[in-house]
Structure 1
Amino acid sequence: MYKGQNKIRKWFDCGGWKIFADDNCLNIGDACVFELMEYSNQKIIFKVQILRGNITSKYHNGIRPDEPIVID
Structure 2
Amino acid sequence: MLKNHKLASAIADCGFYEFKRQLTYKCEWYGSKLVIADRFYPSSQICSNCGHQQKMPLHLRTYVSAALR
Which TM-score applies when normalising by structure 1?
0.30
Higher share of residues assigned helix? 2
Higher relative contact order (CA 8 A, sep 6+): 1
